Amino acid sequence: MHPTDKAARVAGLWYLSMALTGPFTLIYIPSTLIVRGNAAATASKILEHQTMFRLGIAAELVGAVLFIGTAVALYRLLSGVSQTRAMQMVTFAAVSAGIAFFNALNNVAALTLFRGGEFLTPLGTPQREALGMLFIRLHGQGNVINEIFWGLWLLPMGLLVIRSGFLPRFIGVWLIVNCAAYLALSFIGLFAPRYSGIAFTSAQPALFGELAIMFWLLIKGAKVQPLPAVANA
């Protein structure tokens, strides 16, 4: 196997591992345990399913580590195209991972408030539940902010894919569109949150750019053209 093709498949595996943790912490946990606008019901569900909530926190932390690993694997694959662009890609991914680590503290704080404790006795149950819900909301807003970097790291990656010659150009263009979609979702979430749901649904075709590059790397790898044979004198 050509080294470039091997590097592509390794990057695809890293990408797949990252994709496995994301839906659990970003979609399943919020839809299962968080009751929008109801702090008491949210606290009750989280306390009833503490292990699941803790697994969501752990999955978020593991996902951040896998994000860095994916970026490094893609750096090995694409740095030969442009080291500057590849470094930009890794830098944006690292910043995103750092935000995710700090953002996980919001869920830790929410769980601490819901569970209570001696140092929280001055606060009544409704106050603790309201504060816990505030941290849950802050965690959600942290993800909205992080969407900026979920998008930005795709811009240099898309440009590298377009210039690589061993990956399809259309996927590179798709990644740039994916970047624009994440940026739009972030700013809609910050300035017009009531439209976030319809914006997310409308952006789905653009957001599949990451799935396209992931499956291409895993299944097709990098199609490196063999060097022409040197004619014997």
Going from the first residue of the chain to its last (233 residues), give the mean pLDDT of each consecutive group of 10, the final group possibly shorter: 88 92 92 93 95 96 96 96 96 97 96 87 89 96 97 97 95 97 96 94 95 94 64 41
The confidence score (pLDDT) of residue 1 equals: 73
Do residues 110 and 135 touch, judged by C-beta distance below 8 A? yes
Residues 6 or more apart in contact with residue 47 via CB below 8 angstroms: 114, 115
The confidence score (pLDDT) of residue 225 equals: 65
What are 98's two structure tokens? 């750092």
The confidence score (pLDDT) of residue 117 equals: 80
Residues 6 or more apart in contact with residue 45 via CB below 8 angstroms: 32, 33, 34, 35
E strand map for the chain: none
Rounded Cα–Cα distance for residues 35 and 40 (Å): 9
Do residues 203 and 184 touch, judged by C-beta distance below 8 A? yes
The confidence score (pLDDT) of residue 226 equals: 58
DSSP of 114-144: HH--GGGTTS-HHHHHHHHHHHHHHHHHHHH
Amino acid residing at 163: R
The confidence score (pLDDT) of residue 19 equals: 86
Helix axis angle, 125-152 to 83-115, nearest 10°: 170
The confidence score (pLDDT) of residue 169 equals: 96
Do residues 7 and 77 touch, judged by C-beta distance below 8 A? yes
Q: Which residues of 198-231 are buried (b: 16+ CB within 10 A; e: fewer)?
A: ebeeebeebbebbeebbebbbeebbeeeeeeeee
The confidence score (pLDDT) of residue 223 equals: 82
